[in-house]
Amino acid sequence: MRVYERNRLRLKLVTWGLAGVMALSLMLTGCGQGTVPDNSGQEPVESVPDSTVETEVSEKISEENTHHSSEIEISSKEDFGRIYEDLTASYVLTADIDLGGEVIEPIGHFEPRSNAPEDEETPDISLAFTGTFDGNGHSLSNFTIDAVDKNGVGLFGCITGEGSWVKNLKVDTIHVKGGNYTGGIVGFADFGSYLEGIELTGKNSVEGVFLVGGIAGASHADIKNCRAIVDVALTEENMQGVGIIVGGQEDGNLENCRAEGSVTAGDGCYSIGGLAGCFHNSTYAKDCTAENIVIRTGDGCWLLGGLAGHSGTYEGAPTLVENGTVKNVSIQTGDDSERIGGITGGGFYASAYKEYYPEPSKSDIQSCSVSEFRVSGGRYVGAAVGYSYGTTTVADLDGTMIWNDSESEEPIGADDSVKLEELK
């Protein structure tokens, strides 16, 4: 396994000493590296980087991602069905649409460009949505997606290409089940796309195997001015990446987003957050709020945070986490879980990857607020960060926590006095 261009981190199955076989699913989109967990049961293989792949795909998208000169108006259930017929077009919603509880298919879906290892996480653009969708302040409501055998599941299963986006959309009362990369609105948001002004309200649930979020499951896209009230869950143990806004955010930034609801994951989970599973290789995550959230995990989990499970970069400037607010958030986990913080659990580090990443990733946490933050279980718990190691800095924190019934203002749970080899 190697570091890829854009610091793409791919997931890999490894043997975990005390926990048996553990899916250390760090992957390109959102949180980590290696190959995607294979729902078919086949053994995943490690990719071989090809520096020309992303350039070729980008050029092809630029050639093929030509939207219609005018937007196609969508004002009824019948109109909604037209979107599936042309995944390259530009659409605008001109009326609220109630889909009446129907089971619908994702608009576009994720499949690798080819069976070659270097293409396993490059979307086939002929199957993805490469157009634009303007909700125009209107709503789509009352639908179900049941695609547990698929990757890239959401209202839009996969969006890719420069200039592709979803914005100004209200969504209400949805239930989404998928495999890897499952989101309420977008399953897989690739480079070049962006999400803005999306609201997910009402009674909603989103669940999947790996990288699961209310707005997006796996995202390289910038996400701005989004709000979600939703219950999100990882359906298998030893899996990574769940948050109410986004399961795994890599390279893209978050701004002015708000999360409320619940987060659930099993034993051995990691990168678990109220707002996001992670801000991995992001430039910034600012002005975001996690409020009225209950996070429940099994035992042996790591990197849990009120705002994000982990954050940071390995090259260049640290990820800036600024003006984040965490209020009335509780984390209920096992005694053997570790690195738990009001803002983030810390920088990404795993003993299985110490050959490649000998230190945790770097973040600057500035001007954040934590209140009514409660943790039961775990170790290395801080009002701001669970574990710093000197690669995560905290400044101007207004924060308190209650950990196992004891109140504390300690911003950092553990520093480099706890050796890396003592961590999971």
pLDDT at 54: 45
- Distance from CA of residue 404 to its chain's centroid? 28
The answer, yes or no, to whether residue 8 has pLDDT greater than 50, is: no
Residue 327 identity (one-letter amino acid) = K
Encoded tokens for 281 = 């290789």
Assess whether pLDDT exceeds 60 at residue 107: yes
Residue 169 covered by a domain:
yes
Query: Which range has the worst mean pLDDT, 116-120, 174-178, 399-403?
Result: 116-120
Answer whether residue 235 is part of any domain: yes
- The answer to whether residues 46 and 117 touch, using CB atoms and an 8 Å cutoff, is yes
Please enumerate in sequence order all residues whose Cβ is within 8 A of that of 164, keeping only pairs 6 or more positions apart, or say none.
Answer: 65, 129, 130, 131, 132, 192, 193
350: which residues sit within 8 A by CB, 6+ positions away? 24, 26, 270, 302, 357, 423, 424
> Would residue 128 count as lying in a domain?
yes
Tokens describing residue 181: 């990369």
| Domain-embedded: residue 307 | yes
Residues 6+ apart with CB under 8 A from 348: 26, 31, 32, 271, 278, 280, 303, 310, 312, 357, 360, 361
- For the chain, the domain total comes to 1
What's residue 141's pLDDT? 98
Burial 226-246 (b: 16+ CB within 10 A, else e): bbbbbbbbbbbbbbbbbbbbb
Instruction: Report, as an integer, the average pLDDT of 167-179.
Output: 98
The pLDDT > 70 percentage for the chain reads: 84
Tens of pLDDT along 121-164?
889 999 999 999 999 999 999 999 999 999 999 999 999 999 99
Domain-located, residue 21: no
Domain coverage including residue 122: 53-422
DSSP 89-127: SEEEE-S-EEEEEEE---BS---BSSSSGGGTTSB-TTT
- Let me know if residue 13 belongs to a domain: no
Instruction: Flag whether 17 is in a domain.
Output: no
Query: What pLDDT was estimated at residue 39?
Result: 54
Do the domain assignments include residue 381?
yes
Q: How far, in Å, CA of 63 to CA of 58, rounded? A: 9
Please give the Cα distance from 192 to 43 (Å, whole number): 31
pLDDT digits 0-9 by tens, 353-395: 888 889 999 999 999 999 999 999 999 999 999 999 999 999 9
